[in-house]
């Protein structure tokens, strides 16, 4: 079996659903269930013999050690993280605690467990750490995309905390021999995405007739990766990645934020026209940019293609259409995640910015 941390979040939840659907191998899913952890995402697995959910914190060493001793996983796939840049600006402490201290505790538990295994099981064990392209900093318009050899230049509390966790994982491999793998992905999108991130926020706000807040001039560029493609890349790295190596995972889809919002509006005009007949693009509102906003990210994903034969299956056009259709078909999920704390967050981060 494998142990997954953060498996009730956006990427982790999609990974769990895909894993159980594709493999006959049990999963122990450890998630703290903070604001972005949502068991409704895993509702289809309720009572499933291959899925065992445990609510808990990766920083709880006694709990993690007990889970490892009881279930004896052949691998740990580490998704658990605080992951929203804006939230890290407003409150960096939680990011330091989860992304750095939590990863450190998880590594120490994994090292103790791995050291206790018979040699054959030690050789087969893997610790896969899921990270982000934001650790590399920001690119100018003409710069080449981030490769695995790029220096780390994080610019937000979130990306700095993820960079620190990457360094810890690397150090535990080189110092203690822990068999680790690291993936650094570009911006994910797709089903079950908590509606504070750009794409789901625009969909949800547009359908509610609310303003579509775009930071600054909206010309910030990101590479977009459909979450199911990301999950397939992680499975492939877990299966055949070289120990101690980092693999960048991208969708080869650079888009400006404003272009994305415009595309979402056009899809909604087609799939769910507004009651008043106005185009959804009329709701676009430019708001003050966030502090230290990185201008461009882009992933060079040739290494994972060359070494492991992985390529994304979705184009941005096909993935975005699937994503918009999913939100239109799953309004109950959206309504249930929009708790009071979520509405307070949107008010704090967007409505209070001067247009």
Q: How confident is the model at residue 289 (pLDDT cuts 50, 70, 90)?
A: confident
Helix axes 227-240, 10-22, angle to 10 degrees: 60
Q: Please state the pTM of the whole predicted model.
A: 0.93
- Is pLDDT of 346 > 60? no
Active-site entry in 136, 158, 247, 297: 158
- pLDDT tens digits along 225-270: 999 999 999 999 999 999 999 999 999 999 999 999 999 999 999 9
Q: Quick check: is 143 catalytic?
A: no
Tokens for 299, please give them. 């992933």
Tokens for 53, please give them. 């959910």
Q: Quick check: is 226 catalytic?
A: no
Active-site entry in 86, 134, 229, 314: 134
DSSP alpha helix (H) spans, 309-352 = 316-329, 331-337, 340-346
Q: Quick check: is 134 catalytic?
A: yes
d(CA 192, CA 300): 26
Q: Which helix (H) or strand (E) holds 222?
A: strand 221-226
Which residue bears the tokens 């397939």?
232
Active-site entry in 57, 133, 196, 223: 133
Q: Which residues have CB under 8 Å from 114's CB, separation 6+?
A: 122, 125, 127, 178, 179
d(CA 229, CA 237): 12
Contact in structure between 150 and 133 (CB atoms under 8 Å): no
Q: Write out the DSSP string of 265-310.
A: HHHHHHHS--TT---GGGGEEEEPPPTT---B--B--HHHHHHH--
Residue 355 confidence (pLDDT): 53
The per-residue pLDDT of the chain, averaged, comes to 94
Which residue bears the tokens 């064990």?
125
Buried b (16+ CB within 10 A) or exposed e, 236-252: bbbeebeeebbbbbbbb
What is the set of domains in the chain, with CATH numbers? 2-191+224-252+295-313 (3.40.50.720)
d(CA 221, CA 215): 12
What string of H, E and C letters represents the secondary structure of 138-173? Answer: CCCCCCCCECCCCCCCCCCHHHHHHHHHHHHHHHHH
- pLDDT tens digits along 40-81: 999 999 999 999 999 999 999 999 999 999 999 999 999 999
Long-range contacts of 47-52 (CB under 8 A, 24+ apart): 48/20, 50/20, 50/23, 50/24, 50/25, 50/26, 51/16, 51/20, 51/26, 51/27, 52/26, 52/27, 52/28
């Amino acid at each position: 079996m494998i142990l997954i941390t953060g498996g009730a979040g956006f990427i982790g939840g999609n990974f769990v659903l895909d894993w159980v659907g594709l493999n006959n191998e049990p999963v122990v899913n450890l998630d703290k269930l903070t604001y972005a952890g949502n068991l409704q995402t895993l509702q289809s697995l309720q009572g499933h013999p291959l899925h065992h959910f445990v609510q808990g914190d990766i920083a709880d060493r006694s709990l993690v050690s007990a889970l490892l001793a009881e279930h004896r996983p052949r691998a740990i796939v580490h998704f658990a993280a605080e992951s929203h840049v804006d939230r890290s600006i407003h409150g960096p402490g939680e990011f330091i605690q989860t992304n750095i201290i939590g990863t450190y505790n998880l590594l120490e538990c994994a090292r103790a467990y791995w050291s206790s295994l018979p040699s054959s099981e030690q050789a087969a064990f893997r610790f896969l750490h899921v990270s982000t392209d934001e650790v590399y900093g920001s690119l100018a318009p003409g710069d080449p995309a981030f490769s695995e050899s790029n220096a780390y230049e994080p610019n937000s509390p979130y990306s700095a905390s993820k960079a620190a966790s990457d360094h810890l994982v690397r150090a535990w491999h080189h110092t203690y021999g822990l068999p680790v793998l690291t993936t650094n992905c570009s911006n994910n999108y797709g089903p079950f995405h908590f509606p504070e991130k750009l794409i789901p926020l625009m969909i949800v706000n547009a359908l509610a007739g609310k303003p579509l807040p775009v930071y600054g001039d909206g010309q910030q560029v990101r590479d977009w990766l459909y979450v199911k493609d990301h999950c397939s890349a992680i499975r492939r790295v877990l299966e055949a990645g070289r120990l101690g190596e980092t693999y960048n995972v991208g969708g080869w889809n650079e888009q400006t934020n404003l272009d994305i919002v415009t595309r979402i509006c056009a899809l909604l005009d087609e799939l769910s026209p507004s009651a008043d007949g106005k185009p959804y693009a009329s709701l676009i509102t430019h708001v003050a940019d966030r502090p230290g906003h990185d201008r461009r990210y882009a992933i060079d994903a040739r290494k994972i293609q060359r070494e492991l034969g992985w390529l994304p299956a979705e184009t941005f056009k096909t993935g975005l259409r699937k994503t918009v259709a999913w939100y239109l078909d799953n309004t109950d999920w959206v309504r249930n995640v929009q708790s009071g704390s979520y509405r307070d967050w949107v008010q704090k981060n967007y409505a209070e910015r001067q247009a």
